[in-house]
Chain A
Amino acid sequence: MPGTMVPSEFIINIDQERCRRCKRCVMNCGFGAFEFKDRTIADSSKCVACHRCVVFCPEEAITIGRNPLAFRENPSWDVGLRKSIWRQAATPGMILTGMGNDLPWLNIFDHLLIDACQVTNPSIDPLREPMELRTYLGRKPDHLEVEPNGNGGFGLKNKVSNNIRLEVPIMFSGMSYGSVSLNVHRALAIAAEQLGTVMNTGEGGLHEELYPYADHIIVQCASGRFGVHSKYLNAGAAVEIKIGQGAKPGIGGHLPGEKIGLDVSGTRMIPVGTDALSPAPHHDIYSIEDLSQLIYALKEATDYKPISVKIASVHNVAAIASGIARAGADIIYLDGFRGGTGASPAVIRDHVGIPLEIAVAVVDEQLRKEGIRNLVSIIAAGGIRSSADVAKVIALGADAVGIGTAALIAMGCRVCQKCYTGNCSWGIATQKPELMGRLDPDWGAERLVNLVDSWSTELKEILGALGVNAVESLRGNRERLRTLGLDATTAEILDVKPAGR
């Protein structure tokens, strides 16, 4: 019997007339789908539709098609489900996958519309007027006190604690060194510095080479404590305690041993080739008071840098976030159920958690009800696909967004979802030296800067149309959103009126 009995998902077609037999496809495919005998031969069963061969074939001789093989239709027995069962019947184990949830759940962003000004309040032209996106992340006092300074002006009596200043309300989400290549981290760091924003290390530590970018890096401390030491904790602008991740709420990070070579092992402080499996919970955090202790321990260790706590959006997220704010966190990073991952069991990625839009709305509302919204900044991540999503989630209540998948796509990622294999043909989610070298950090950084600059320009255009000239006037301003085609209960939870009201 042939292996898993699962038919190929894609079919590779090589136009042998056009093929010059240059073998670039053979060299470029990270998954070994091409072979050269007397001519180029393709093994479609290995194809993940990552398009590396298509992009690099000088003759445009390669096309990738969907396998037209018909399955007897049965909506309850979706073909994907049948394939999973065949695979699991062949080899016991969880189906692993990469990137964000790919099931067709309702996407709330696509049911939200943004307002604009007409006549009574004029729109503002961002080409001719200042338009401000600067954002500060961290704790703010609930009021300031001033006193006369003797020169007819006023001086501050109470100071605002340490905050991270972002020139754009967009940062790069945590993607660990190990799950992505060092060149990806290099590109993110360079771009973050140029943009005046921050990258997040993810849970795999920070390569020493990147320590000079400290002001533009949030260092993460996750349950595996990979690469966590005092120098590392002080190598960033803030520290993030990762409790959970949108792609896999309730379980720890998984990095297969295949991706742990010498450099990754050195940075993570684990042996070469071992699977890096983070425990599901932090073994020193079994309650909110334990979290509070870690928050203050990290503050003490870093001379009171802002401490972020990253959680997956789960059903009771509002109450959890309130606890985190009261436990002393300065930033709450909410990761939605569409958030990406380098490796996750598909069953968790696809079925656990709640949408980011709802999480942001209920957390913002809960913190306001309790009068403690100023204690924390909210970062929304996990499924931010465009500047429109950025504007919408800020209007729902987020201070800033994190982008992961979008950043990878900017650097060539085709969302083939095979990150966990380490074979990434684009040199992104791999540690193989021959693949890693494909991503030039400067090229990657330039693409990232272009993307964020483009989104910023679009965001300014949206703000101008809304008649405001600072992003803080959009933040939490749900009055400027309307729903279309969204059920009444969800709209009520979002506190957004339907279009027409």
Chain B
Amino acid sequence: MAFGDQYKKWKVDDFKVSSACGLSGFISRDGHLTGGEVIIESMRVIRERGNGLGGGFAGYGIYPKHEEHYALHIMFEDANGKSRCEELLEESLEVEASEEMPTMPIPQIQAPPILWRYFAVPRREKLTAEGLSADDFMVRLVMAINTTVPGTFVFSSGKNMGVFKAVGFAEDVGEFFRIPDYSAYTWIGHGRFPTNTPGWWGGAHPFNILDWAVVHNGEISSYGINKRYLEMFGYHCTLLTDTEVMAYLFDLLVRKQGLPLPIACKILAAPFWKSIDEDDDPAEKELLESLRMTYGSALVNGPFAVIVGYSRGMVGLNDRVKLRPLVAATKDELLYVSSEESAIRQICPRPDRVWAPPAGQPVIGELKGDV
């Protein structure tokens, strides 16, 4: 099915997509940049966890020349969408540079849309007039484009990072987008196994908003209420994928409400009442009780394993009963998180430590303070 047909289907139907998947990611805490061929190599091992209907990557630190600019990766069904979108961009942003995304056509990747990237910042007068922060302005702009411009989809909008995704197996998607040409301190990869819809380019992972990139294995059984909760804060889940909910929740809790990442993880994968009741520290108990009381609608219930990238780090997280696999490993300054140990050992044969993070316990790796 052509890109456009799928796209229309997604925009018209209120139809949630669930998927199972393979994920892998790593961060160099010392800021060392690694070529994209490494993450492709890792993903190749867990090819079987996907079914060729979606693959993608996110790299952090890939656009050092444009690090002050939002890097917008946009897919267009046709030239009409592109010109309409560019009018909107011109009106809202100062565009520093724009170019076609470098790709390598291969037979495994069929019917690509028009792929273009823009490096830009919001127009100052717009921010003043709207009274918005640059980040909030960009979130609104991305949502406006994705909901109102036909056949157009912004799939990456962070700074000095980028998301690359398509219908296909992860390693083919990597080759198509020439991922080995990029170097990053954090790489995240995803191979998708959608179970109830043909793949669509925009529906592949990672899902991104600003510098958040989320790859996700699972289905969120609490999706309906998570979505309605986010709507209260102005987030509109236009893609109707579980993963989108996850990205917006991180953005809301960490960026907008200023909660530390470990606290956000305690909200998404809340500890059970039994363990809260048994907590001997009254202050900790009150904190956890208050979090559950306040953020019950943000509890992400159902099987999931996610890897979330952000500008300074990467976090791996499982649902509260660990219904999906997630393995972590360290080697010197590197932290690895993946669906399978094999995907880690493929690129790091002798890790210092390998472990299975317990349910609901985040594994967080961040750049060291001076990096």
Residue pair B16, A479 in contact (C-beta under 8 Å): yes
Question: Is B224 interfacial (CB-CB < 8 Å)?
Answer: yes
| A 459-501 to B, binary, CB cutoff 8 A, 1 in contact else 0 | 0000000111110111111111000000000000000010001
Q: Complex formed: what's the CA distance from A30 to B299 in Å?
A: 53
| B 292-328 to A, binary, CB cutoff 8 A, 1 in contact else 0 | 1111110101110000000000000000110100000
Q: Complex formed: what's the CA distance from A144 to B260 in Å?
A: 11
Residues of A within 8 A of B16 (CB): 479
Question: Is B355 interfacial (CB-CB < 8 Å)?
Answer: no
| In-complex Cβ contact of A476 among B219, B225, B283, B293 (8 A) | B225
Residues of A within 8 A of B270 (CB): 470
Binds A, one of B34-42, B183-191, B227-235: B227-235
Residue pair B195, A120 in contact (C-beta under 8 Å): yes
Question: Nearest chain B CB to A58's CB is how many angstroms away?
Answer: 49
Residues of A within 8 A of B257 (CB): 143-144
Question: Nearest chain B CB to A375's CB is how many angstroms away?
Answer: 11
Residue pair B219, A121 in contact (C-beta under 8 Å): yes
Q: Complex formed: what's the CA distance from A119 to B320 in Å?
A: 19
Residue pair B293, A473 in contact (C-beta under 8 Å): no
| A 92-130 to B, binary, CB cutoff 8 A, 1 in contact else 0 | 000000000000000000000000010111101000011
Residue pair A477, B224 in contact (C-beta under 8 Å): yes
**Chain A residue at minimal CB-CB distance from B20:** A120
**Chain A residue at minimal CB-CB distance from B223:** A479
**Chain A residue at minimal CB-CB distance from B277:** A134
Given A121-B303, A468-B222, A480-B224, check contact A140 B287 (CB 8 Å).
Answer: no
Given A122-B323, A467-B221, check contact A371 B294 (CB 8 Å).
Answer: no
Question: Is A145 interfacial (CB-CB < 8 Å)?
Answer: yes
Question: Is B111 interfacial (CB-CB < 8 Å)?
Answer: no
| B 78-110 to A, binary, CB cutoff 8 A, 1 in contact else 0 | 000000000000000000000000000000000
Question: Is A7 interfacial (CB-CB < 8 Å)?
Answer: no
Residue pair A144, B259 in contact (C-beta under 8 Å): yes
Count A/B pairs, Cβ under 8 Å: 121
* Chain A interfacial residues counted at CB < 8 A: 45
Question: Nearest chain A CB to B360's CB is how many angstroms away?
Answer: 11
Binds B, one of A150-158, A225-233, A278-286, A445-453: A150-158
Given A120-B196, A373-B232, A468-B302, check contact A160 B293 (CB 8 Å).
Answer: yes
| In-complex Cβ contact of A473 among B196, B287, B294, B301 (8 A) | B301
Residues of A within 8 A of B297 (CB): 472, 475-476
Q: Complex formed: what's the CA distance from A141 to B295 in Å?
A: 9
Residues of A within 8 A of B352 (CB): none
Given A140-B294, A143-B294, check contact A467 B301 (CB 8 Å).
Answer: yes
Question: Nearest chain A CB to B19's CB is how many angstroms away?
Answer: 8
Question: Is A287 interfacial (CB-CB < 8 Å)?
Answer: no
Question: Nearest chain B CB to A467's CB is how many angstroms away?
Answer: 4
Residues of B within 8 A of A466 (CB): 221
| In-complex Cβ contact of B287 among A136, A154, A476, A479 (8 A) | A154
Q: Complex formed: what's the CA distance from A473 to B20 in Å?
A: 21
Residues of A within 8 A of B259 (CB): 143-144, 146
Chain B, interface size category, equals 35 or more
Question: Is B365 interfacial (CB-CB < 8 Å)?
Answer: no
Q: Complex formed: what's the CA distance from A470 to B271 in Å?
A: 11
Q: Complex formed: what's the CA distance from A121 to B222 in Å?
A: 11
Residue pair A155, B287 in contact (C-beta under 8 Å): yes
| In-complex Cβ contact of B224 among A140, A155, A476 (8 A) | A476
**Chain B residue at minimal CB-CB distance from A136:** B293
| In-complex Cβ contact of B294 among A134, A144, A497 (8 A) | A144
List which B182-234 residues lie within 8 A (CB) of chain A. Answer: 195-196, 218-225, 227-229, 231-233
Question: Is A368 interfacial (CB-CB < 8 Å)?
Answer: yes
Residues of B within 8 A of A130 (CB): 272, 274
| In-complex Cβ contact of B18 among A120, A132, A159 (8 A) | A120
Question: Nearest chain B CB to A479's CB is how many angstroms away?
Answer: 3
Given A371-B232, A466-B221, A475-B225, check contact A132 B294 (CB 8 Å).
Answer: no
Q: Complex formed: what's the CA distance from A280 to B222 in Å?
A: 42
Residues of B within 8 A of A472 (CB): 225, 292, 296-297, 299
Question: Is B291 interfacial (CB-CB < 8 Å)?
Answer: yes
Q: Complex formed: what's the CA distance from A130 to B286 in Å?
A: 21
Question: Is B258 interfacial (CB-CB < 8 Å)?
Answer: yes
Residues of B within 8 A of A84 (CB): none
Question: Nearest chain A CB to B337's CB is how many angstroms away?
Answer: 22
**Chain B residue at minimal CB-CB distance from A158:** B290
Question: Is A163 interfacial (CB-CB < 8 Å)?
Answer: yes
Residue ranges of A at the interface with B (Cβ–Cβ < 8 Å): 117, 119-122, 124, 129-130, 132, 134, 136, 140-141, 143-146, 149, 153-156, 159-160, 163, 368, 371, 373-374, 466-470, 472-480, 497, 501
In addition to A144-B291, A474-B222, 9 A-B residue pairs with Cβ atoms within 8 Å of each other are A120-B19, A122-B323, A130-B272, A140-B293, A144-B290, A160-B294, A371-B232, A468-B222, A472-B225
Which 10 A-B pairs have CB atoms at the shortest separation, nearest pair first?
A479-B224, A472-B296, A473-B222, A473-B301, A477-B224, A121-B219, A467-B221, A468-B301, A477-B225, A143-B257
29 cross-chain CB contacts under 8 A:
A117-B221, A120-B20, A121-B18, A132-B272, A136-B293, A140-B293, A144-B259, A145-B258, A146-B259, A146-B260, A149-B283, A154-B263, A155-B287, A156-B286, A373-B232, A467-B219, A467-B302, A468-B302, A469-B301, A470-B301, A472-B297, A473-B301, A474-B225, A475-B296, A476-B297, A477-B222, A477-B228, A479-B224, A501-B14
